[in-house]
Amino acid sequence: MNILHVVGARPNFMKVAPVMAALDSREACSQRLVHTGQHYDANMSDVFFQQLGLPQPDVSLGVGSGSHAVQTAQIMMRFEEVVEEQRPGLVLVYGDVNSTVAAALVCAKLLIPVGHVEAGLRSYDRTMPEEINRLMTDQTADLLFTPSPDGDANLLREGIAPDAIHHVGNVMIDTLVRLLPQAQLPHIDGLATRYALVTLHRPSNVDDEAMLRRLMTTLQEVSQELQVVFPIHPRTRARLQAFDLAVVDEERFLLLEPLGYLEFLALQRQATLVITDSGGVQEESTYLRVPCLTARENTERPITVDVGTNVLVGQDMERLRAEVDHILAGTFKTGEIPRLWDGRAGERIADVIETWQG
């Protein structure tokens, strides 16, 4: 079977790697990797290919930045040509980014089977573009690979046929398990032994000047108790500059350039706590058993709250401070690793594909 994998944004790189590795050992599968170019910053694209051991893309669409509509349309137009030429037996899409839904829609129109890796996740917040991408992708997919039981339940509730749903576990944890032994702390001048690791990039947090000011004020307060380390997304850095927000104490509050996956993973493993609005970081911190405070009102990964180390603090900065105090006092929950987050999700996906008759 000829399989096309479609990636384009940072989280997808970690998700595609274990699936491609698992399918490599299956004789009946040939694979090609399509990189849409949705993330066009070299620090957030090329470095991940190197560290994850992914092959260079067989096809690069080179789409780059743009509004959601423009980016999605460009991917659809360019990917359609690839599909028409190669006529794959299956297209695998990952996560919930614009590349995911664009590829799925193209395949639906051309009657090409689609497998969605990380299917069924729901935040129930349709103001988030990712939620729309998830819903539309799942409704067009033929194979739905879920990371957690809530994904299965969501899909069944939405009318997806039970035999299309496969609970396989979390592919991003596959990558974490494989690469964790290689993750070494990067040299960072002034890095303390104990620190809070921060990632923020969601529009609700960084595009609203008042909210970003509240976040930065709270983080600077936290930094007086615990050093804050903030590898800053280009989007967030641009907003800090536009809003004229500066760090007061640069020894207690370190602003870093974006890091490679291994470097970030090493920082996360050693962190006293994590403050984030990233879905992937919620999952990684749960596996690493690191306390995680998520600056969102909802999450499409509720298992990280129900089972893992994640707490939703929303935009309540008093709650954020209170939870930091709980962590520093040793009274925060410990959490557990969810079932099937064991480093073998990619193998389970390959097993399904090997026996599937499209």
pLDDT one-digit tens code per residue, 252-299 = 999 999 888 899 999 999 999 999 999 999 999 999 999 999 999 999
Report, at the CATH architecture level, how domain 2-179+342-355 is classified: 3-Layer(aba) Sandwich (3.40)
> How confident is the model at residue 46, as a pLDDT?
67
The active-site residue, picked from 5, 35, 68, 201, is: 201
The per-residue pLDDT for 21 is: 94
Backbone angles phi, psi at 340, to 5 degrees: 70, 5
User: What backbone phi and psi angles, to 5 degrees, belong to 26?
Assistant: -95, 120
What pLDDT score does 23 carry? 96
Q: Do domains 2-179+342-355 and 187-258+272-328 have the same CATH topology?
A: yes
| Per-residue b or e along 108-118, where b marks 16 or more CB atoms closer than 10 Å to that residue's CB | beeebbbbbbb
Does residue 201 carry a catalytic annotation?
yes
Q: Which segments in the chain show pLDDT lower than 50?
A: 44
- In CATH terms, 187-258+272-328 corresponds, of 3.50.40.10, 1.10.630.10, 3.40.50.2000, 3.40.50.300, to 3.40.50.2000
Q: Which pLDDT score is estimated for 28?
A: 81
Q: Chain-wide mean pLDDT for the chain? A: 94
Domain spans, the chain: 2-179+342-355, 187-258+272-328
Instruction: Kindly provide the residue ranges of all beta strands, DSSP E only, lying in the chain, ordered along the sequence.
Output: 2-7, 30-35, 59-60, 90-94, 114-117, 143-146, 165-167, 195-199, 227-231, 253-256, 273-276, 292-294, 310-312
How many residues does the structure list for the chain? 358
CB contact set of 133 (below 8 Å; sequence gap of 6+) = 96, 97, 98, 100, 101
